[in-house]
Structure 1
Amino acid sequence: MKNLYIAEKPSVAQEFAKALKIKASRKKGCIESQDSIVTWCVGHLVTMSYPEKYDPIYKRWSLNTLPFLPKVFKYEVIENVKEQFDIVSTLLNRADVSTIYICTDSGREGEYIYRLVDEMANVAGKKRKRVWIDSQTEEEILRGISEAKDWSEYDNLSSSAYLRAKEDYLMGINFSRLLTLKYGNTIAGFLKKDRAVLSVGRVMTCVIGMVIRREREIRDFLKIPFYKVIAVLSKEEFNFPAEWRVDADSAYFGSPLLYKENGFKKKEDAQKLIDSIIPANMQVFKSEKKKEIKNPPLLYNLAEIQNECSKKFKISPDETLKAVQSMYEKKLVTYPRTDARVLSSAAAKEIHKNITGLKGIDLYKDFAQEIIASGKYKNIEKTKYVNDSRINDHYAIIPTGQTGAYNTLSPIGKKIYDLICRRFLAIFYPSALYERYNLEFIANAKKNTDLKSPVLTCEDLKKEHFVSSFKLLKSEGYLKLYNSNTDTPANSDSGLGKDFVSDKKSDINIEDDIDKNIQKLIEIPAFRQMISKLKNGDIVNIGGFDIKEGETSPPKRYTSGSMILAMENAGQLIEDEELRSLIKGSGIGTSATRAEILKKLFTIKYLMLNNKTQVITPTLLGELVYEAVNASISHLLNPELTASWEKGLNCVSQGTITSDEYMEKLENFVSVRTANVIRLNNQYVLKQAYDRIAGFYKS
Structure 2
Amino acid sequence: MGRVQTPTLAMICSRYLKNKDFKPQTYFKVKVHTAKDTTTFPVLSMDKYDTHPAADEVLQRVRAAGSLRVMSVEKKEVKQEPPLLYDLTALQKEANSKHGFSAEKTLNIAQALYEGKKISYPRTGSRYISADVLDEIPHLIATLKNHLCFGAYASGMENIVLHIRSVDDQKVTDHHALIITGDPADGLTGDERTIYDMVAGRMLEAFSCSCTKENTAVTLDTGGVHFACKGSVTLLPGWRGVFGATDEEVQDEDITTLPPLAEGDMLPVRDTEALEKQTQPRPLHTEASLLSAMESAGKDITNEDEREAMKESGIGTPATRAAIIETLFAREYIVREKKALVPTNKGLVVYLAVKDKKIADVSMTGQWEFALNKIGMGEMDAATFHRSIEVYASQVTTELLDIAFERTDDRSGCSCPKCKNGQVIFFQKVAKCNNETCGLTVFRSIAKKDLTDTQLTALLMNGKTGIIRGFTSSKGKPFDAAVAFDTDYKTVFEFENKGGKKGKTK
| Fold agreement, TM-score > 0.5 | yes
User: Post-superposition shift, 1:467?
Assistant: 1.1
Shift, 1:677, TM fit: 4.5
Matched, 1:274 2:71: no
Partner secondary structure for residue 616 of structure 1: strand
Q: CA deviation at 1:572?
A: 2.8
For residue 545 of structure 1, report the CA deviation from its aligned partner: 1.8
* Distance in 1 separating the partners of 2:198 and 2:429: 45
Contact 1:620/1:693, CA 8 A, preserved across alignment: no
Match of 1:647 in 2: 370
SS in 2 for 1:660: helix
TM-score where L is the length of structure 1: 0.56
Q: Could you report, residue by residue, the CA deviation over 1:176-229 in whole angstroms, capped at 9, with x for unpaired residues?
A: xxxxxxxxxxxxxxxxxxxxxxxx111001111001101110121001111111
- 1:480 CA displacement: 2.0
1:489 to 246, 250, 264: 246
* Residues 472, 491 of structure 1: 8 Å contact kept: no
Q: What are the residue-to-residue correspondences of 1:314-463 with 2, within 5 Å?
A: 314-359=100-145, 361-372=147-158, 374-377=159-162, 380=163, 383-403=164-184, 406-444=185-223, 463=224
Distance in 2, Cα, partners of 1:685 & 1:204? 21
Among all aligned residue pairs of Structure 1 and Structure 2, give the percentage whose two residues are the same amino acid: 27
Change in 2 beyond 3 A, CA 1:470/1:675: closer
- Does residue 1:214 correspond to 2:15, yes or no? yes
SS in 2 for 1:408: coil
Partner of 1:603: 330
Structure holding more strand per residue: 2
Aligned to 1:544: 271
SS in 1 for 2:108: helix
What amino acid sits opposite 1:466 in the alignment? F
Shift of 1:415: 1.0
State the alpha-carbon separation in 2 of the partners of residues 466 and 550 from structure 1. 17
SS at match of 1:263: coil
Q: CA deviation at 1:596?
A: 0.5
The C-alpha deviation readout for 1:453-493, integer Å capped at 9, x for no partner, is xxxxxxxxxx321112222223222222112xxxx616776
Counterpart of 2:91, as a letter, is: I
User: Matches of 2:202 and 2:400 in 1, distance apart?
Assistant: 50
Opposite residue 690 of structure 1, the aligned amino acid is F
1:660 shift after superposition: 1.9
- Which residue, out of 239, 252, 257, partners 1:478? 239
Question: Deviation digits for residues 262-307 of structure 1, max 9, x if unmatched?
Answer: 3212111111222334423222211233323222211111111101
Q: Residue 73 of structure 2 aligns to which amino acid in structure 1?
A: S
Aligned equivalent of 1:629? 354
Contact 1:202-1:636 at 8 Å conserved across structures: yes
What CA distance in whole angstroms lies between the structure 2 residues aligned with 1:422 and 1:615? 27
Kept in 2: contact 1:302–1:336 (CA 8 A): yes
Match of 2:282 in 1: 555
Instruction: Report if aligned partners of 2:295, 2:310 keep a CA contact under 8 Å in 1.
Output: no
Distance (Å, rounded) in 2 between the aligned partners of 1:237 and 1:425:
38
For residue 694 of structure 1, report the CA deviation from its aligned partner. 4.1
Q: Which amino acid aligns with 1:643?
A: G
Asked whether 1:263 is paired with 2:48, we answer yes
Would you say the 8 A contact 1:315–1:614 is kept in 2?
no
The count of residues paired between Structure 1 and Structure 2 equals: 420
- Amino acid corresponding to residue 87 of structure 2 in structure 1: N
Distance 2:313 2:209 in 1: 32
- The structure having more radius of gyration, on CA atoms, is 1
Instruction: Give 1:568's aligned residue.
Output: 295
The answer to whether residue 88 in structure 2 is matched with residue 302 in structure 1 is yes
Report 1:573-584 matches (<5 A).
573-574=300-301, 577=304, 580-581=307-308, 583=310
- Is 2:451 the counterpart of 1:690? no
Query: Equivalent residue of 2:269, what SS?
Result: strand
The TM-score with structure 2 as length reference comes to 0.77
State the one-letter code of the partner of 1:557.
Answer: L
What residue ranges of structure 2 are gaps of 5+ in the alignment? Answer: 413-425, 439-506
* Closer, same or farther: CA 415–216 of 1 in aligned 2, 3 Å: same
Match of 1:239 in 2: 40
- Cα shift readout 1:337-359 (whole Å, capped 9, x = no counterpart): 11211222221133233223334
Q: Deviations over 1:120-139 (max 9, x none)?
A: xxxxxxxxxxxxxxxxxxxx
Give the letter for the 1:350 counterpart.
Answer: E
| 1:482 partner SS | coil
Q: Deviations over 1:626-651 (max 9, x none)?
A: 223236xx111121111111111111
Aligned position for 2:394: 671
Q: Is the 8 A contact 1:476 1:490 kept in 2?
A: no
Aligned to 1:586: 313
- Alpha-carbon separation, structure 2, partners of 1:595 and 1:347: 28
Structure holding more helix per residue: 1
Q: Quickly say closer, same or farther: Cα 1:584–1:599, change in 2 above 3 A.
A: closer
Counterparts in 2 of 1:18-33, with a 5 A limit?
A: none
Work out the CA distance in 2 between the residues paired with 1:580 and 1:225. 34
Give, in angstroms, the shift of residue 410 of structure 1: 1.0
Query: C-alpha deviations, 1:514-541, integer Å up to 9, x for none?
Result: x6xx44xx5xxxxx3xx2xx33223222
* Partners of 1:479 and 1:310 in 2: CA distance: 20
Does the aligned pair in 2 maintain the 1:435–1:471 contact within 8 Å?
Answer: yes
Q: Is the alpha carbon distance of 1:280 and 1:582 closer, same or farther for their aligned partners in structure 2, counting shifts above 3 Å?
A: farther
CA distance in 1: counterparts of 2:249 and 2:388, whole angstroms: 51
The residue matched to 1:545 in structure 2 has which SS?
A: strand
C-alpha separation between the residues in 2 aligned to 1:594 and 1:684?
Answer: 29
* Distance in 1, Cα, partners of 2:398 & 2:178: 45
- Quick one: which of 604, 615, 620 aligns to 2:340? 615
Distance 1:583 1:270, change over 3 A: farther
The worse-fitting range, judged by mean Cα deviation, of 598-607 and 333-342 is 333-342
Amino acid at match of 1:357: T
Distance 2:310 2:385 in 1: 25
Q: Alpha-carbon deviations, 1:660-693, whole Å to 9, x = none? A: 2222111121123323544x37568997973543
Query: What whole-Å deviation, never above 9, does each CA across 1:140-185 have from its counterpart, x for those lacking one?
Result: xxxxxxxxxxxxxxxxxxxxxxxxxxxxxxxxxxxxxxxxxxxxxx
Q: Is the 8 A contact 1:316 1:614 kept in 2?
A: no
Matches within 5 A, 1:277-296: 277=62, 278-296=64-82
Aligned to 1:171: none
For 1:587, give the aligned amino acid.
G
- Rounded to whole Å, the distance in 1 between the matches of 2:295 and 2:389 is 22
| Residue equivalent to 2:495 | none
Q: Which amino acid aligns with 1:546?
A: E
- Letter of the structure 1 residue corresponding to residue 80 of structure 2: K
Q: Aligned with 2:118: secondary structure? A: coil
Aligned partner of 2:26: which letter?
Answer: P
- State the match for 1:313 in structure 2: 99
Paired residues of 1:473 and 1:491 also in contact (CA < 8 A): no
2:444 maps to what in 1?
Answer: none
CA distance in 2: counterparts of 1:361 and 1:490, whole angstroms: 18
Deviation >6 Å, runs of 4+: 684-689
Amino acid at match of 1:637: A
Partner Cα distance (2:264, 2:168) in 1: 50
CA contact under 8 A between 1:287 and 1:536: conserved in structure 2? yes
Say which SS state the counterpart of residue 418 (structure 1) adopts: helix
| Distance change (3 Å), C-alpha of 1:413 and 1:685 | closer
Q: Following TM superposition, by how much is the alpha carbon of 1:394 offset from its aligned partner in structure 2, in angstroms? A: 1.7
Residues 477 and 391 (structure 1), Cα distance of their counterparts in 2 relative to 1, 3 Å cut: same
Q: Residue 659 of structure 1 aligns with which residue?
A: 382
The Cα shift of 1:326 comes to: 0.9
